[in-house]
């Protein structure tokens, strides 16, 4: 894939005048994120909970949903909290359960489906079981918006369903009692990109606005750590109300008293007071997700809800083991597939599978293989019933859904049936399932469809905020950058271009040499390290016969390179120091 470094434009005189109260660097960072007016800059840089939190009742069906829950509580009806199994759905389910506990409501249960043997969202079997247990109300979190048949079955059994979700609705909405989802076409709520747990936080705020049940004012703010974990982990845009939730959620997380999170922090060797959005995205979120990927998401739910410190430590250790197993199994998949690849004659797409591969690690393995081989990847395994289930990722050249639709269309023309039992998702990431007897057909059919599918030439473009010298990378610069934190989708970490940076040391490290560490010379007395996690994936030998060669760039000490980097604070061994994160490298 071609790469392009694009230095973003300098500010106009009008932009500079409008943002004149800020430093030149902050002015530039704001303008590059579309913030060009002083009032907008004030709101962005200084979020205010009371000022910026939107009225939840602006969301369609919110009042109706709240009224139905209050009715259920008054009548002591059995309620099911139905949460998705990921790091968005589990914190969301936890939030509602904590509300019920706080108000003293006991007639509820939490149901999180099995990632491996149940489909995403509501399923017919679970709904039937709820009806048999005299459940009267189901509240979904981070799922449900496309579950038409399942909600219809619930209604037939006399169960009301409140859907709280943030995914795109289909053409037909489920016949739910209420649907709380700002992405509905006629919904007037200004923020359309809340995470699933973000929607649940709004729902809880609306419930307490109608009846506080004796709960002290402001109690719900202590749920913001869970909202932040979900918001960052689910990679929704960190602007607008999401920025507010993440900003204050991190403040709560740094003060957390939840035994489960404290146990997790201890295992990860992170001081809660130093927690950042990176710690959520790269440390906490993956461990919550590892529960469903490697066993069942209920373990993550128990971690977030337990009040017993000893139990919290046990669960945290269990999740850490599962996360380590996930990494090891992912590496086994990568090793197995790499052994099959002829580096000089790679296939246009990679299609592989084994019943021995865990279903929960297929998506991660796909992503790693796309990074390594720069081509679309389909991987599959089998569930307990023997059904083939898989994940796929694109390199940007093709739309995965279009390719699998072509497969189905061809099969329909030939046999009168779709090839896939299920296939869907997004252009870049999708999933599929098929009957076991069709295993041998998968690769040839995908190859044929890929050959027919429209392609587009991809160019990876890196947007650069500024060209800096190594001597510019100071604590003052870091403090200016941090005014824009937390960073994420639509508010990326500022990227800086270093020209002719002199390398004084280079090495690979960690788990077979997956990561890259360079040391740059700042001046005669100072050096600064630069880390590139998972940068050593190209199959090239770091210390080969041609010296320190990496992606075609000579990294031998004494050489100079151009580097794209972000600036961060490392607290390794509780010693704060400035460090660079490598985005890309090229020869000078």
Q: Domain holding 502: CATH number?
A: 2.40.50.460
Regarding beta strands 547-550 and 543-544, do their DSSP bridges make them parallel or antiparallel, or are they unpaired? antiparallel
Counting every residue written for the chain, the total comes to 588
Rounded CA separation 99/223 (Å): 9
Residue 507 tokens read as 């090495």
Q: Which long-range contacts (CB under 8 A, 24 or more apart) does 566-569 make?
A: 566/493, 566/494, 566/495, 566/496, 567/473, 567/477, 567/478, 567/481, 567/494, 567/496, 568/278, 568/478, 568/493, 569/478
My answer on whether 447 and 543 are in the same domain is no
Question: Sorting pLDDT into bands at 50, 70 and 90, what band is 460?
Answer: confident
Percent of the chain with pLDDT over 90: 83
pLDDT, tens digit, 9 for 90 and up, residues 279-289: 999 999 999 99
CATH number, domain of 156, equals 3.90.1640.30
Q: Is residue 255 part of a domain?
A: no
Mean of pLDDT values over 232-254: 97
Full domain range(s) for residue 72:
56-218
* Of 245-259, 277-291, 400-414, 499-513, minimum mean pLDDT range: 499-513
Instruction: Say whether pLDDT at 343 is over 50.
Output: yes
My answer on whether 347 and 450 are in the same domain is yes
Report the alpha-carbon angle 558-560-562, nearest 5: 155
Regarding beta strands 78-83 and 135-141, do their DSSP bridges make them parallel or antiparallel, or are they unpaired? parallel
**Per-residue CA distances from 388 to 334, 338, 412, 437 (Å):** 19, 22, 19, 9
Instruction: Say whether pLDDT at 534 is over 80.
Output: no
Regarding beta strands 388-393 and 429-434, do their DSSP bridges make them parallel or antiparallel, or are they unpaired? antiparallel
My answer on whether 481 and 554 are in the same domain is yes
Question: What does pLDDT average to over the chain?
Answer: 93
pLDDT of residue 539: 44
My answer on whether 471 and 351 are in the same domain is no
Mean of pLDDT values over 257-274: 96
My answer on whether 374 and 414 are in the same domain is yes
Q: Is residue 304 part of a domain?
A: no
Please tell me which residue, 70 or 430, carries the higher pLDDT value.
Answer: 70
My answer on whether 450 and 470 are in the same domain is no
Question: Sorting pLDDT into bands at 50, 70 and 90, what band is 524?
Answer: confident
Mean of pLDDT values over 140-144: 97
DSSP assignment letter at 432:
E
Rounded CA separation 502/556 (Å): 10
* Of 92-106, 233-247, 299-313, 420-434, minimum mean pLDDT range: 420-434
My answer on whether 495 and 442 are in the same domain is no
DSSP assignment letter at 8:
P
My answer on whether 435 and 379 are in the same domain is yes
Which of 404, 439, 457 lies at the terminal end of a domain, its last residue? 457
* Of 24-33, 55-64, 113-122, 203-212, minimum mean pLDDT range: 113-122
Question: Sorting pLDDT into bands at 50, 70 and 90, what band is 556?
Answer: confident
Which of 431, 457, 483 lies at the terminal end of a domain, its last residue? 457
Question: Sorting pLDDT into bands at 50, 70 and 90, what band is 214?
Answer: very high
CATH number, domain of 381, equals 3.10.310.30
My answer on whether 424 and 410 are in the same domain is yes
* Of 90-104, 346-360, 556-570, 572-586, minimum mean pLDDT range: 572-586
How many structural domains is the chain composed of?
A: 3
Rounded CA separation 92/456 (Å): 38
pLDDT of residue 545: 46
My answer on whether 512 and 414 are in the same domain is no
């Amino acid at each position: 894939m071609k790469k392009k470094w694009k230095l973003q434009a300098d500010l106009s005189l009008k932009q500079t005048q409008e943002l004149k109260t800020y430093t030149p660097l902050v002015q530039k960072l704001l303008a590059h994120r579309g913030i060009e007016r002083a009032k907008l800059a004030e709101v962005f840089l200084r979020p205010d909970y009371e000022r910026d939190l939107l009225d939840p009742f602006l969301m369609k069906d919110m009042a109706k949903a709240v009224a139905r829950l209050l009715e259920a509580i008054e009548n002591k009806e059995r309620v099911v909290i139905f949460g998705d199994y990921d790091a968005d759905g589990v914190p969301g389910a936890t939030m509602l359960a904590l509300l019920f506990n706080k108000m003293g409501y006991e007639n509820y249960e939490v149901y999180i489906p099995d990632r491996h043997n149940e489909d995403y969202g509501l399923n017919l079997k679970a709904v039937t079981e709820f009806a048999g247990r005299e459940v009267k109300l189901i509240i979904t979190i981070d799922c449900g918006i496309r579950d038409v048949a399942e909600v219809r079955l619930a209604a037939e059994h006399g169960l009301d369903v409140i859907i709280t979700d943030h995914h795109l609705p289909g053409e037909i909405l489920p016949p739910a009692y209420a649907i709380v989802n700002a992405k509905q076409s006629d919904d007037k709520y200004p923020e359309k990109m809340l995470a699933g747990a973000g929607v649940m936080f709004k729902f809880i705020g609306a419930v307490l606005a109608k009846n506080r049940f004796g709960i002290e004012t402001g109690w719900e703010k202590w749920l913001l750590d869970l909202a932040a974990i979900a918001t960052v982990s689910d990679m929704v845009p960190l602007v607008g109300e999401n920025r507010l939730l993440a900003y204050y959620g991190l403040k709560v997380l740094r003060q957390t008293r939840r035994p489960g999170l404290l146990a997790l922090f201890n295992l990860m060797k992170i001081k809660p007071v130093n927690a950042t959005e990176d710690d959520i995205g790269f440390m906490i979120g993956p461990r919550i997700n590892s529960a469903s990927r490697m066993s069942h998401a209920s373990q993550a739910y128990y971690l977030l809800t337990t009040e017993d410190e000893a139990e919290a430590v046990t669960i945290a250790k269990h999740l850490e083991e599962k996360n380590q197993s996930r990494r090891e199994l992912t590496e086994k998949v990568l090793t197995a597939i790499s052994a099959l690849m002829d580096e000089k004659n790679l296939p246009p797409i990679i299609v592989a599978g084994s019943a021995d591969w865990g279903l929960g690690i297929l998506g991660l393995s796909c992503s790693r293989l796309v990074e390594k081989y720069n081509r679309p990847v389909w991987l599959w395994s089998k569930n307990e019933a023997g059904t083939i289930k898989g994940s796929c990722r694109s390199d940007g050249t093709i739309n995965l859904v279009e390719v699998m639709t072509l497969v189905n269309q061809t099969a329909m023309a030939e046999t009168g049936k779709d090839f896939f039992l299920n296939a869907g998702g997004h252009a870049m990431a999708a999933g599929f399932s098929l009957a076991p007897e069709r295993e041998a057909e998968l690769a040839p059919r995908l190859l044929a469809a890929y050959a027919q599918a429209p392609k587009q030439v991809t160019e990876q473009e890196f947007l650069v905020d500024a060209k800096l010298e190594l001597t510019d990378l100071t604590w003052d610069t870091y403090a200016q950058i941090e005014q824009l934190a937390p960073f994420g989708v639509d508010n990326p970490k500022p990227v800086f271009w270093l020209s002719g940076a002199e390398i004084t040391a280079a090495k690979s490290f960690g788990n077979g040499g997956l990561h890259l560490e360079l040391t740059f010379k700042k001046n005669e007395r100072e050096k600064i390290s630069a880390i590139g996690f998972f940068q050593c994936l190209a199959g090239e030998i770091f210390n080969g016969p041609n010296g320190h060669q990496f992606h075609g760039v000579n990294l031998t000490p004494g050489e100079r390179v151009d580097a794209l980097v972000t600036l961060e604070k490392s607290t390794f061994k509780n010693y704060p120091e400035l460090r660079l994160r490598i985005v890309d490298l090229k020869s000078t």
